[in-house]
């Protein structure tokens, strides 16, 4: 069933599942980004036109442009990879929420440590790998370029990135 194409994000994060479950997902797609994106594309049965995989220690998210069918198939695929997570463990965001979410992630506002800086570099690397592998086009290119600009701007124009900037730095200080 092909419907109008829409921007979406499907994933799991530290807010929806345990870190051990996120590790399961990360291990599944560690390694070659192009191969991971091919596998994800095949899971949509051709209903996704653009894809990008963001995998960090705190999240695994698939951003894409496709049909509602794409979103449903990807959510089902992730849920089957997370035994015991339940349906609330994997989220699927519609277009308007995907844009906001990408900006929040790039800015470090959706992190375990608010303002952490690593996510911006991880997002940039994920986007560049997807672009180089031919999985992004106009919509995702524009979204990621804007999100990366917003993330940089938030860090340079606010005091958000002052202080502890990563989970590791907080752990070291507590130890």
Among residues 44, 50, 46, 11, the alpha carbon closest in space to that of 139 is found at: 50
What pLDDT was estimated at residue 175? 45
Length of the chain, please? 175
Decide: 47 and 55 in contact? Cβ < 8 Å: no
Q: What kind and span of H or E run contains 56?
A: strand 48-56
Distances from the Cα of 145 to the Cα of 22, 49, 67, 130, 152, angstroms: 26, 18, 23, 13, 11
What pLDDT was estimated at residue 160? 66
In the set 26, 43, 57, 99, the catalytic residue is: 57
With H, G, I as helix, E, B as strand and everything else as coil, classify residue 152.
helix
Active site residue 57: yes
What pLDDT was estimated at residue 55? 92
**Cβ neighbours of residue 51 closer than 8 Å, sequence gap 6 or more:** 37, 40, 41, 44, 62, 63, 64, 130, 135, 136, 140
What pLDDT was estimated at residue 31? 75
Q: What kind and span of H or E run contains 107?
A: helix 95-107
What pLDDT was estimated at residue 168? 55
Decide: 67 and 6 in contact? Cβ < 8 Å: yes
User: What is the pLDDT tens value at each position of the chain, 175 positions in all?
Assistant: 344 679 999 999 999 998 888 888 888 877 788 999 999 999 999 899 999 999 988 899 999 999 999 999 999 999 988 887 777 899 999 999 999 999 999 998 888 888 888 899 999 999 999 999 999 999 999 999 999 999 999 888 887 666 545 555 555 454 4
What pLDDT was estimated at residue 2? 42
């Amino acid at each position: 069933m092909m419907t109008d194409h829409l921007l979406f994000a499907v994933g799991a994060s530290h807010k929806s599942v345990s870190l051990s479950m996120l590790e399961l997902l990360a291990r599944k797609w560690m390694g070659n980004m192009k191969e991971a994106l091919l596998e994800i594309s095949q899971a949509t049965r051709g209903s996704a036109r653009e894809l990008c995989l963001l995998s960090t220690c705190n999240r695994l998210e698939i951003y894409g442009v496709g049909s509602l069918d794409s979103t449903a198939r990807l959510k089902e695929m992730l849920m089957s990879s997370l035994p015991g997570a339940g349906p609330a463990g994997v989220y699927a965001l519609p277009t308007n929420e995907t844009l906001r979410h990408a900006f929040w992630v790039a800015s470090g506002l959706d992190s375990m440590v608010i303002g952490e800086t690593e996510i911006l570099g991880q997002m940039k690397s994920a986007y560049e790998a997807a672009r180089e592998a031919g999985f992004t086009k106009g919509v995702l290119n524009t979204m990621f370029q804007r999100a990366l600009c917003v993330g940089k701007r938030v860090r340079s124009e606010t005091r958000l990135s002052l202080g502890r900037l990563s989970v590791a730095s907080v752990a070291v200080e507590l130890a």
